[in-house]
Amino acid sequence: MEPIALHRDEHRWYEAARRRVSVRRYGAPPAEAQKESLRTLAGALARGGVRIVPLSGADEVFGHGLMGRRIAGVTYGVGFVADGGTPDWCVGYVCEAFVLECAAMGLGTCWTVGTYKQKPAREQVGLRAGERLLAVTPIGVPAGEALRALADDDRPRKPILKLTGLSDNEFEALPEWQREAILCVRSGPSAINRQPWTVRPEPEGLFLQTGKNTLDAGIAMFHAELAASVNDLRGRWSEHPEGWRFQLTPDEEEAPPEAEQPPETDTPDEP
């Protein structure tokens, strides 16, 4: 998969990752100039069998939610599409960049995997032979309570000890980039906010483990790499039976083309 060029938007996306929350109530769609900018970004991000496609009737797709958590006021959104040979983590990794650009613009989003009307959504994105629709998101100006949530994010987050196995003192002793990468992973979205990750610091890297939802894994991987990038560090991911390893590229070594991309699979995909 062609790498995402982080250097251009890394600081905007990193700040957005730290403050973004899922939004379920919308007051207005994006401005036309914002829609055009997002369409351009969607085209630029398309790679490895992953596409980001506008929904032609987003209001028809959203309208009911898990345990009554309805998404309301939606008039614009996109679908996240992948071909049959693309692992789910690739969709999480690529499409989280799009979600963070929305947040940087001041727009709300909500990764939505199963609680939307799937038949009209599949029709609207125009699935090609062998493609799958993995998720959708509304996009718009947050309204009402959503605005307060953005201003006062009180989401419960996994304690550092449970996330890393480290005490507070051990965590504070880590290099700055590792601390920021771990916190950036912790701030990421996950299905029903389960936060299925564990992150193990390693010399010159990190080891990430997640549950079976590898869409969440791809999101976490992008967040970790983003935090490394804002610290002027680059690296590469590799996949292992227990999870994914991010290894820094030495300063004196020019990173190969795949250095900023998600992992090269060295074992069969688990999903």
Q: Write out pLDDT tens, residues 35-56.
A: 999 999 999 999 999 999 999 9
Task: Name which CATH class applies to 10-150.
Answer: alpha beta
**pTM exceeds cut of 0.85:** yes
Statement: residue 125 has pLDDT above 50? yes
Statement: residue 113 has pLDDT above 50? yes
* Element at 245 (helix H, strand E): strand 243-248
Domain positions in the chain are: 10-150, 160-265
Query: What pLDDT, in 10s, does the model give residues 199-228?
Result: 999 999 999 998 776 899 999 999 999 999
Percentage of the residues of the chain whose pLDDT score is greater than 70 = 83
CA distance readout (Å), 72 to 35, 41, 78, 165: 19, 25, 15, 39
Q: What is the mean pLDDT of residues 22-29?
A: 93
Question: How many alpha carbons lie under 13 Å from residue 123 in its C-beta half-sphere?
Answer: 8
Which pLDDT score, from 0 to 100, does residue 252 have? Answer: 44
Angle at 134 between CA 260 and CA 162, to 5 degrees: 65
Secondary structure tally for the chain: helices H, strands E: 10, 10
Lowest mean pLDDT: which of 24-28, 97-101, 107-111, 147-151?
147-151
Question: What are the structure tokens assigned to 246, written together?
Answer: 């991010």
Statement: residue 257 has pLDDT above 60? no
Percentage of the residues of the chain whose pLDDT score is greater than 90 = 72
Contact 11, 234 (CB under 8 A): no
Give φ, ψ of 200 to 5 degrees: -110, 115
Contacts of 159 (CB under 8 A, 6+ apart): none
Query: What pLDDT, in 10s, does the model give residues 139-183?
Result: 999 997 655 555 445 667 899 999 999 999 999 999 999 999 999
Q: Do domains 10-150 and 160-265 have the same CATH topology?
A: yes
Sign for the pseudo-dihedral over CA of 241, 264, 78, 13? positive
Which pLDDT score, from 0 to 100, does residue 144 have? Answer: 72
Question: How many alpha carbons lie under 13 Å from residue 180 in its C-beta half-sphere?
Answer: 17
Statement: residue 266 has pLDDT above 50? no
Residue whose structure tokens are 């590469």: 236
Q: What is the mean pLDDT of residues 54-62?
A: 94
Task: Name which CATH class applies to 160-265.
Answer: alpha beta
Confidence grade of residue 67 (pLDDT, cut at 50, 70, 90): very low
